Structure 1
Amino acid sequence: MIKIALLFPGQGSQYNMMGKALYESSPEVREIFHRTNEILGYDLLGIINEGNMEKLTRTEYAQPAIFAYSYAIFQSICKEKKFFPSFMAGHSLGEFTALTCAEVFRYEDALRLVMERATIMQQATSDGFGGMAAINGLHPLLVEEECERVSNGEDKIVVANYNSSNQVVISGANSLVKVATENLAKIGAITIPLKVSAPFHTPYLELSNQMFQRAIAQTQMAGLKWPVISNVDAKPYYHPAEIRDRLNVQMTSAVRWKETIDYMLRQGVNTFIELGPKTALTNLIKRDFSHVRAYSYEDNYEQIMSIIDEQVAEKRPSVVSRSLGIAVCMRNENWDDAEYQKGVIEPYRKIQALGNKLEEEGREESFEDIKQAIEMLRSVFVTKKVPLEEQKERFTQIFDETKKRHLFDDFAPIMFAEKEVVNEK
């Protein structure tokens, strides 16, 4: 079974003329950029195409440009193909793109958030004060120790991104970033200065973060169409309240990208597709996981379209059959025979009979059939004392594997009922 995760890059991936071919070939993309210009109040595509890389690198231009281009790519693919991503994740700025593509934010609202975020991040420090650098080839603990060693009472640097098993990004006062990169290079690191204009994901942005929290509080959010993984803790969002809470600290927290990829791999993702400029996220995966398929839109468009076709053609199991399978494989932590009989065996046998009936009659499961299966599985989870986080993951897995993600919110009150006592380890 093909399980796809869509990845959206962050700042630093921008380049002159990005998106030009897509803009010229797609009326829908031209409309997206037209709406973008109206909201921004300036010609974003003009800035992308004018050839002034120094200007495009400035945060207030780079972030809206990457966001708009990445979103346009997603919309152009959705127009051509109906496909079923298991997860979405974005690196820093890219998390806002992922949430927008998952329909948490309206595009216009998200663009205003990105504008606000970019402006206050750019203003967080004076020009030239902040810097960032990628550190390759050393264990993250060594880099953390160096950051602590060179930081002082006035200035500091921290690890801002945990990108892969052998790459982290340091961020903070530019003078200290230079000292740390020189020291780390002496013990074998390969260091690369990043094209950014502020010390992202550091305490220097605390005041900016407080300002941005007000913008988040005023922005409407809807339910997730697809699961999105948070940068802050590398766990999926399930409700808008969780999104707001974690976005409130994203700007000053480290991006846990390696943990994000690890989580999706544990959930069975076997294909990663990067939608945005360049190939940074694709390259990180290929270096760490040679057995995993990873593609970037700009380099592998034809392969991506072919994979989506393969996924659409796959025969998917029913919610009833997957619920039965998951009910059986869940570890039991409840040894009360009476509770187990009532909460596991009886509901399981009822849905097992339903599954047999559906197979005999050769008919598709109905909404009511799905409801009964979910109620059974919820009963099994509660009785077996399955941790709440694992319950959420399993329910998400079912609706993903059966191509019924569009029904997820309809059954959320059953899946995430709070009246039962659950084991939240």
Structure 2
Amino acid sequence: MNYAFIFPGQGSQSIGMGKDFYDNFELAKELFHLASDTLGFNMQELCFQDNEKINQTQYTQPAIFLVSYIAHSILQEESPLLAKLALGHSLGEISAVSVANGLSFEDALILTHKRGLLMQQACEGKDAGMMVIVGLDDAKLEHFCQEQQNNGKSIWCANYNGDGQIVLAGKKADLASVEGSLKELGAKRALLLPMSVASHCPLLSSMTEDFTKLIEPMLKENFSLPVISNATTNSYDNKQDAILLLSDQLTKPVLYKQSIQKIDSQIDAYIEFGCGNVLKGLNKRLSQKNTFSITDTTSLKDFLATL
């Protein structure tokens, strides 16, 4: 079987994420404690107890990475599997690089935390936000965004999640101002998301240099499997390409839909690692192949039963 390992990004987090693994696997406990020691804050409290930090990007990102990494590590411990390639959605691309042995566990934790801090800093005072649009085709929405940019508004296509589902990024006031126009254009839904950053658009350009300096000493020279770039849909497996592509990803849209369409003929099934089943939901509209989500002991056992 040719598997693609896939990893979710922000929006997949929830209180209780990873707790089932923590309660049932010694490896999960060890990784949670190592993550807490590495970052200097309590990852069990962040992931298991009600708190506001879980939705603050500098904490959300390492939490999502940690649970994805644990899910993948436990599967490998129970039944080692080789993937043909790895793919992440936004933040998930860093998880993909890590399981491809392009980043150590500790460095990936530090990177996701600092990436979140840099994103927050880059968006301070910019009234940044994101909006999900449902029911418009890509070309129509891209043309609309270009018209708005020509009129001085900060609005860009940021995430291509599936046919008729795109997330926009930009300034909240600009996004809110076009909600009516988007519905007149035929959008079934135009909803502002509860976010204080605008990912994958030029509003993050001020952090690109700092991010590149941060990631350069962390990356390994060569990876153990190819990773699909969100920014280009092409695969890469080395440090030189990763520096460029992971930096480009900050200001360019996530081409998730296009990536799945491009690799689907090479893949027999997808395995999603982490909290929830966001990518499984997206994949239902993009592929006829199975997507298995490994989120807890039950879903792990269900997947192992298919082998």
Normalised TM-score (structure 2): 0.93
Compare CA radii of gyration and give the structure with the larger one.
1
Aligned equivalent of 2:246: 247
SS of the residue corresponding to residue 13 of structure 1 reads coil
Q: Decide whether the 8 Å contact of 2:12 with 2:64 is kept in 1.
A: yes
Alignment of 1:11-410 (within 5 A): 11-52=10-51, 54-126=52-124, 129-151=127-149, 155-186=153-184, 187-266=186-265, 268-289=266-287, 291-298=288-295, 300-307=299-306, 309=307
Task: Report the AA paired with residue 296 of structure 1.
Answer: S
> CA separation of 1:144/1:4 partners in 2, compared to 1, >3 Å: closer, same or farther?
same
Query: CA offsets, 1:156-206, max 9 Å, x none?
Result: 010011111221110010111222333223323323433432001111111
Task: Report the AA paired with residue 82 of structure 1.
Answer: P
Query: CA offsets, 1:50-107, max 9 Å, x none?
Result: 212x431110111011011111111111110111211110011000001101111111
SS of the residue corresponding to residue 12 of structure 1 reads coil
SS of the residue corresponding to residue 227 of structure 1 reads strand
Q: Decide whether the 8 Å contact of 2:87 with 2:96 is kept in 1.
A: yes
1:300: Cα distance to partner? Answer: 3.9
Greater fraction strand: 2
Q: Decide whether the 8 Å contact of 1:233 with 1:256 is kept in 2.
A: yes
Query: CA offsets, 1:395-424, max 9 Å, x none?
Result: xxxxxxxxxxxxxxxxxxxxxxxxxxxxxx
SS of the residue corresponding to residue 6 of structure 2 reads strand
Q: Decide whether the 8 Å contact of 1:12 with 1:196 is kept in 2.
A: no
Q: Distance in 2 between matches of 1:197 and 1:301?
A: 34
1:153: Cα distance to partner? Answer: 6.7
Greater fraction helix: 1
Q: Decide whether the 8 Å contact of 1:13 with 1:66 is kept in 2.
A: yes
Task: Report the AA paired with residue 98 of structure 2.
Answer: T
SS of the residue corresponding to residue 208 of structure 1 reads helix
Q: Decide whether the 8 Å contact of 1:160 with 1:171 is kept in 2.
A: yes
- 5+ residue gaps in structure 1? 310-425
Query: CA offsets, 1:13-47, max 9 Å, x none?
Result: 11111111111111111111111111111112202
Aligned residues: 304
Q: Decide whether the 8 Å contact of 2:71 with 2:273 is kept in 1.
A: yes
1:306: Cα distance to partner? Answer: 2.6
Task: Report the AA paired with residue 109 of structure 1.
Answer: D
1:127: Cα distance to partner? Answer: 6.4
Task: Report the AA paired with residue 66 of structure 2.
Answer: A
